[in-house]
Structures are given as structure tokens and as C-alpha cells.
Amino acid sequence: MRSVPRRRLLAGLLLTPVLTSCFASGGDTSGEDSADGSRLRVALAFPPAENLSPYGADATLLSRLGVTEGLTALDANGSAAPALAESWTRENDRTWLFTLREATFQDGTAVTPAAVAAALTHATEAKPVTAALSGVALKAAKADGNRVRVTTEDADPALPLRLSSPGLAVLSPKAYGKERNKPNPVGTATGPFEITKVSGTTSATLDRNDDYWGGRAQASGVDARFISDGTARTNALRTGQVDIAEAVPVSQAAALEKGTRHETATTRTTSLLLNTDKGAFKDPALRSAAREAVDTSVFAKDVYEGYADPGVGVFGPAVTWAADKRVKPAGRAKAADADGTSVTVATYNNRPELPEVAQVLQQQLEKAGFKVKLEVREYSRLESDALSGKFDAFVGARNSLLDTGDPVSILASDYSCDGSYNLALLCDKKVDKAVTEAEALSDSAKRQQAAMDAEAAILGTDAVVPLVHQQIITGVGTSVQGVIFDPYERTLVGTGTRR
């Protein structure tokens, strides 16, 4: 089985940032006068699901294409690094000051404290709340000079990490029209590439932003195609139709030449989430029976063909501090006899391994006495039904540090009563108490341990069964350089990506 390289995550959580390379620009070289004018052709797995609103699933699509940015970014170690804010200081437990760099929006207007404060305010008003702000209330206001003051209702030591979220991208005032929940990022963002055309859910055209603060991109633009079928994405790379294909299925990896296949350890976990609010799995004893029926080693070895490790928790081996701090779950219900209980398990086909995972789960659950119906759709046609609890169970892949870089934040978003991405519909007093206690801690080591205590409380409910911790495979043409292989899956192309 392939091992996952160790990475130091969340180091220096409370420190004022230093100018280290980060995945948002890591591997890039300044393109300024060396741009060769070539356009990049990129195949992405997920089409726009929410009209390119940065408040939901499309946020990562925008950041991966180099369109949007926030005040901060994540560096290679998982620490907060400068982006639109060049530095920041903490005034007190609840208040931070961010000093902005000189930058312009793609519509030619200046990135000002007033514009940044307005963008963050719009994000706080989004419905449903963007994942990075789950359980967090903040206010942003213009301060003296070129600074923005951000104040949280409660102490939030992870705020610089939180503001790196793709869901908190800063857009110009022009982006926010009558539909405040759906800001338009076309021509209103700050990244090295500007969207100029979107053809529904099939393709998008991006041109170079020549006024980008981080230097002129070496590629003149990006032609993005949204291809949900993994085999089709891989074939598009093999036949020279695209230069970069993300999320190559493990079943297709061998079809790529060694020089075009790139593996990246990630903080992404594939899990079985059980609906705790309604249906069969509202019963803790049946959730326990489902957990006991699952053999995680089968998924890592057979479905993912060694490009994954067996599931051990919400946080896997790529979160290097987690293993030494992991706590054994307690208080699990005694498993009941499934006795022919009928359940519907849903998943999506944008990540081609997931339907196969669901089929293996079906076999394992049926062997334990359940009757299982599978529901497989494209993700954009599935998410709203999953969030509203229309299925008994959901198989999904989630990058645990994608939304904020802070482990506590994803626990609040995905497993607390008020969580905005709570697919298990879990509402448990012990879990909420553990998450709340973790959120209050400033010390990095103590916060990490509290996150693992909360993970144990969550696993004790059997609302989630971690299946595998993944690697991702990116297909890259031999003539292409500077692709960003990001374990947090926030970035893909940058100023130095070229062919």
C-alpha cells in the first residue's frame, strides 16, 4: 500500500505571517515579461453548481482556476500566509487588523478596505452560510490607513486560517447585485485569471489578468472544460485535447504514461454518512450495525488500488499530528439486527471511485442483513437532496482542511447542530459541547487535542464511518510546467503554469 508523506499542518496558528511560499503561488515563477501567450486547456471534474457563487461548491472551482483570492492563503505547511492582506496583527481576543497590499480588481477598481469589508459582510449574510463561517459571527469594517478590522462575536484564534477559505473570496462591489447570495465573479475577482465567458455547465473561458498584483501569468488564458466522467477526462489528456486533467480515476492511472501521472497526498477522506435525523439510521443501534458491517481495508486495497489508506477517523495520515492525539470513541450503541431494514445510499459520479465504493458498501451492508438501494447522480443534482435528508446514507469525499485549514472548523460545519454542511444531520449535545470547547482554545497543541476529542465524540455517534484517506491523481501533459499539486485541493493553475 502506498504511504502518505508526512506533512506538518497548522504550525504557527497564532503567529503573524512570514513571507513563505504557499500553494496559492507555490511552484510559480514570476511570468512578467516571459509569457509565451499559450493558453492552458484544463479538464475539471465538477461543473458549476450554483452559478459560480463563491459561497458554495463552486468556490473551489474558482480558486483552482486562479480566479479568486481571499485575504490570506495556506502555505505548504498549512499555516496562514499573505494573499490580499500582506500582514496582520491581533488587537485582542476578538479583533484582528489586516493590512492590505496594493491590488486591483479585474474590473479595474482598487482593492480598498471598504471594498474588502463589504465583501466579507456579504459573505456573512449568505444563506445557507458559507462553510468557513459555520458557527462564527464576524463583522468587518474599514480601519485607518489601508487596513481592515475584523471582529468576531467570540474569540476565534483560527481567524487568519479561516479567511483563507475559497468561500471567503474578495470580489469588487460590482459583483453584488440584487441576488446577494449569488455574487458574480465574472470580471470582479483579483486572481491571475479572469473569467470572460461561461457556457452553462460545459466550459468556461478565462483570460490573463495583466494587472495581477502577483505578477503577469505566463499563460495567456485558460480554456476550462467540465467533464464529470473520469474516463473521458483521462482520454482527453491522452489524446491531446487538454493539457491538465484533474481527479484521474485510479482505474485509469495505468493508462497514463509515468511522466504525465502525478500523485498527491491529500487531507481528503471518503466517508459513509448516516442520516441521524430520519429513516432507519435515526436508530443508533442500526448505525452501529452499519459501521460493524464495513471493512475499510477493502476500499483502500481494491477500489483505490493502493492510492489511499484505510479510514481511521475524520482526519487521516496526511494530518500528521492527528495519529498521536487520536482518542478512542466511547458510548457507541450496541449493534441491532438489521433484519431486512431497507435503506437508500446516495453518491455522485464526478469522482468515479465513489459509485464503486457505494457498490462495495451495498454488498457489505446486505451481507449484514440490510436491503440497499443505490442512488447515483452528478453532484450538482444531488447536493440539495442530501443536505435536506432525503437519503438514509451518503457516500462522499471531503477534504478536511479545504474550507478553513482549521480542523475544528470542519467539525463545526459538518457535525454540529448548526453546521452548514451537516450531511448526517447530526445534532448531539456531547458533540456540540466538544466542538465549542475546541473552538475556544488558542494554543495550537491544545486546539489540536480538543479537535481529536471532538472527533472521538462524533465517531461515537456512528453518524460517520470513515472509509479511506485519499491521494489524488492529476494528469499533466509533458509540455506543461508549473501545475500546483496542492494537498488542500484549493489551487491548480497559477502565474507559473504554462506550456
Instruction: Report the C-alpha gap between 249 and 251 in whole angstroms.
Output: 5
Question: What is the rounded average pLDDT of the residues 26-41?
Answer: 54
Question: How much is the pLDDT for 127?
Answer: 85
Poorest-pLDDT segment among 119-123, 273-277, 376-380, 401-405: 401-405
If you average pLDDT over every residue of the chain, what do you get? 89
Question: How much is the pLDDT for 11?
Answer: 34
More confident residue, 401 or 92: 92
Q: Are strands 393-399 and 342-348 parallel, antiparallel or unpaired?
A: parallel
Instruction: Report the C-alpha gap between 463 and 275 in whole angstroms.
Output: 7
Q: Are strands 85-92 and 95-100 parallel, antiparallel or unpaired?
A: antiparallel
Residue 15 has pLDDT above 70, yes or no: no
**Residue 195 burial (CB count, 10 A):** 24
pLDDT in tens, 475-494: 999 999 999 998 889 999 99
**Residue 21 burial (CB count, 10 A):** 12
Poorest-pLDDT segment among 11-15, 91-95, 133-137, 342-346: 11-15
Helix (H) or strand (E) holding 451: helix 444-460
* Domains of the chain by start residue, with CATH: 36-46+191-257+478-499 (3.40.190.10), 68-189 (3.40.190.10), 266-471 (3.10.105.10)
Question: What is the rounded average pLDDT of the residues 243-257?
Answer: 92
8 Å CB contact between 454 and 439: no
pLDDT in tens, 132-190: 887 789 999 999 999 999 999 988 888 999 999 999 999 999 999 876 668 999 999 99
Residue 33 has pLDDT above 50, yes or no: no
Burial of 242 (0-12, 13-18, 19+ CB in 10 A): buried
Residue 21 has pLDDT above 50, yes or no: no
Residue 27 has pLDDT above 90, yes or no: no
Poorest-pLDDT segment among 19-23, 112-116, 312-316: 19-23
Instruction: Report the C-alpha gap between 64 and 52 in whole angstroms.
Output: 13
pLDDT in tens, 46-56: 999 888 999 98
Share of the chain above pLDDT 90, in %: 70
Poorest-pLDDT segment among 163-172, 196-205, 399-408: 399-408
DSSP-H helix ranges across 125-223: 159-162
| DSSP one-letter code for 282 | G
Residue type, 12: G
Question: How much is the pLDDT for 29?
Answer: 37
**Residue 20: how many CA atoms within 13 Å on its side-chain side?**
17
Residue 23 has pLDDT above 90, yes or no: no
Question: What is the rounded average pLDDT of the residues 118-125?
Answer: 94
**Residue 289: how many CA atoms within 13 Å on its side-chain side?**
21
Full-model pTM = 0.75
- The set of cell numbers assigned to 102 is 496594493
Helix (H) or strand (E) holding 264: strand 261-274
Question: What is the rounded average pLDDT of the residues 28-42?
Answer: 59
Cis peptide before 128 (omega within 30 of 0): yes
**Residue 210: how many CA atoms within 13 Å on its side-chain side?**
5
At residue 23's C-alpha, the angle toward residues 262 and 199, to 5°, is 75
